[in-house]
């Protein structure tokens, strides 16, 4: 049973340089309990796809076409009905935890608002539910955190608060837009582990947007490699990483610095990386020089 079904989605953006087709006819679906990842470099259209699916792009500057069915509602054609699903059936985990929260309201207040999207609750029950959510995302001493302001928490803890807010209304789909890109690797590991644990327990579907092949390999079931608004390659995670079929995917993998396998004590396997062929594809041209 698909939680999200996207067919031939295109998004055109109006910019000062003219109209750009940022997303060019992509189709994919996500089942409950599955993580589908869109991976790509800057300007590939991966974040535009995510923001378009959440209808978070400015309506007057972005033209969306195609179909995207979530909980029986077409995100593209039924904007009003979809507005009721956002923050409920589907929630966003944004990249920059520091700016995603209001600096002048407490964690408890902001988390409470997310909980209330599901329906009214008396104060004690609201507090209880908030504590429960913070416990779920493994924030220590949750009661103490409710009265704090965002600047009093570290980036990793704020990201956990945002995950708690996203989970507040029991969504069927989480859209995670580079949720760990701004974090240190040890903090990132904790967040990824948390997302995997929550998914095991609640069967929430995750649409992950990332530029990091390591992150994609770890948490995905399916990967779509995006470039210039299109999926250049799609498939199961093991197959895409072990046997990429297109030149672009191969190049992307070849560019990742190798660390080899490690058993927690010693190196297990260290394979040297193939030399990057700098001439074959002009990736800088692909990524675009600012006009």
Partner 1 sequence: MSQSPEPDLVLSVKNLVVDYAVHGGTFRAVDDVSFDIPRGATVAIVGESGCGKSTIAKAIVRLLKPASGAIVLNGQDIAQMPARTLRPLRSKVQMVFQDPYGSLDPHLTAEDIVGEPIGLRGVRSAKDRRAEAARLLDQVGLPASARGRRPSEFSGGQRQRIGIARALASRPDLLVCDEATSALDVSVQAQVLQLLADIQQQSGLTYLMISHNLGVVRENSSTVVVMSRGQVVEQGPTEQVINAPRMPYTRALRAAALDPLAIVGRKPREVVSRLNKIEFLEDPTLLEDAS
Selected binder of partner 1 within 14, 79, 83, 270 (CB under 8 A)? 270
Q: How many CA atoms lie within 13 A of 160 on its CB side?
A: 26
Fill in the per-residue mask, 164 to 193: x = in contact with partner 1 (CB under 8 A), - = not in contact: --------------------xxx-xxx-xx
Q: Cβ distance 130 to 146 under 8 Å?
A: yes
The stretch among 15-23, 67-75, 81-89, 246-254 that binds partner 1 (CB under 8 A) is: 246-254
| Site for partner 1 contains 203 (CB under 8 A) | no
| Site for partner 1 contains 245 (CB under 8 A) | no
**Alpha helices (runs of H) in 74-154, residue ranges in sequence order:** 79-85, 97-100, 107-116, 123-136, 142-145
| Site for partner 1 contains 153 (CB under 8 A) | yes
Tell me which residue has tokens 């250049």: 232
| Site for partner 1 contains 258 (CB under 8 A) | yes
Using CB under 8 A as the binding criterion, the count of chain residues that bind partner 1 stands at 64
Selected binder of partner 1 within 27, 196, 230, 235 (CB under 8 A)? 196
Which residues, 6 or more positions from 261, have their beta carbon under 8 angstroms from its beta carbon?
267, 268, 269, 270
- As a 3-state breakdown, the chain gives helix, strand, coil percent values, each rounded to 5, of 35, 25, 35
Q: How far is the CB of 254 from partner 1 (least distance, A)?
A: 7
The residue among 53, 119, 48 whose CA lies nearest residue 82 is 53
Tokens linked to 91: 């929630």
The site for partner 1 (CB under 8 A) is made up of 35, 41-42, 140, 151-157, 184-186, 188-190, 192-193, 196-197, 211-221, 237-238, 241-242, 251-262, 264-267, 269-271, 273, 276, 278, 283-284, 287-290
């Amino acid at each position: 049973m698909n939680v999200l079904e996207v067919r031939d989605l295109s998004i055109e953006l109006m910019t000062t340089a003219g109209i750009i087709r940022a997303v060019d006819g992509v189709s994919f679906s996500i089942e409950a309990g599955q993580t589908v990842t869109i991976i790509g470099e800057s300007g590939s259209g991966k974040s535009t796809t995510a923001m378009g699916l959440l209808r978070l792009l400015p309506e007057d500057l972005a033209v969306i076409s195609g179909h995207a069915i979530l909980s029986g509602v077409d995100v593209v054609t039924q904007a009003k009905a979809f507005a009721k699903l956002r923050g409920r059936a589907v929630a966003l985990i944004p990249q920059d935890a520091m700016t995603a929260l209001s600096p002048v309201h407490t964690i408890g207040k902001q988390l409470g608002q997310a909980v209330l999207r599901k329906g009214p609750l008396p104060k004690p029950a609201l507090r209880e539910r908030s504590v429960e959510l913070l416990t779920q995302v493994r924030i220590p001493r949750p009661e103490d955190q409710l009265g704090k302001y965002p600047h009093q928490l570290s980036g990793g803890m704020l990201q956990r608060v945002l995950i708690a807010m996203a989970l507040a209304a029991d969504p069927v789909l989480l859209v995670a837009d580079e949720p760990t890109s701004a974090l240190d690797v040890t903090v990132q590991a904790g967040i990824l582990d948390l997302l995997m644990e929550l998914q095991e327990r609640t069967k929430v579907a995750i649409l992950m947007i990332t530029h990091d092949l390591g992150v994609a390999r770890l948490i995905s079931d399916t990967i779509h490699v995006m470039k210039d608004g299109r999926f250049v390659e799609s498939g199961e995670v093991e197959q895409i990483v072990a046997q990429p079929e297109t030149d672009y995917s191969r190049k992307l993998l070849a560019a990742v610095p190798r660390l080899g396998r490690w058993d927690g004590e010693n190196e297990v396997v260290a394979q040297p990386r193939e030399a990057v062929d700098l001439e074959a594809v002009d990736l800088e041209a692909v990524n675009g020089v600012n006009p």
